[in-house]
Structure 1
Amino acid sequence: MDTYALDDLDPDGRAEMERCHRRAEGNSMRHLVSYYRLLTYIGMPVKYGGRPGELVGHSGQYVKVLLEGGDEPVTCHPTSSTAYPHGTQVGPDPDERFAHLVRVTA
């Protein structure tokens, strides 16, 4: 598969690529809100695995975090091992969302 640098594209191609990227980023953010009730933003301080970092992007159903001292962002699950600033609403977990569908017998 050939890859091209953004600078190699003509202005129309560059604009289309940027529109697609913004649309994908928006879809990822909407997924986090609808599925996890988690409202995130670029630049949000977070901790992943106990290490401080900053949310730098979204990738599908995941978040991208640049950890302090890191050179490249890490793609992380939005609720597993990821901590957000105090007051950020997170949840319920998927297991809690579907608990009413599970019948437990004694």
Structure 2
Amino acid sequence: MKKIILIAGFCIASLGLATSSFAKLAAPSEEAKLKAAEAKAKTAWSDKVGAYQLCKAQDKVAAGYLKAKGSAAPTPLATPACADPGPYVAAPAGPAPLAAATPASAVVATSPAASAPKK
């Protein structure tokens, strides 16, 4: 009987902890969004670098195998060449300010007197 009570108490406590984890989080700030986007871009670049390094290593191993085998010329395969992703380039800091995005010729200054109806 004590085991049943102990198990029931454990289940109730677990249920209480599980339901408290469904609380809604606040929306991330603009700074947090920019940091997340930067981290995502850096991770994508790191993945490309890893794929490039793997491609170069596979080419080296294949060349060593063909040399040891004594094959004069390898059979051409339809494999793409290794593409170097280049150095990491950080994305722009954020959206351009409105004043910088709007050309000066598009901004027309109007005064209240100029926009008043003529009598």
- Structure 2 length-normalised TM: 0.27
Of structures 1 and 2, the one with the larger relative CO (CA 8 A, separation 6+) is: 2
Bigger Cα Rg: 2
- Structure 1 length-normalised TM: 0.30
Q: Please identify which structure carries the higher strand content.
A: 1
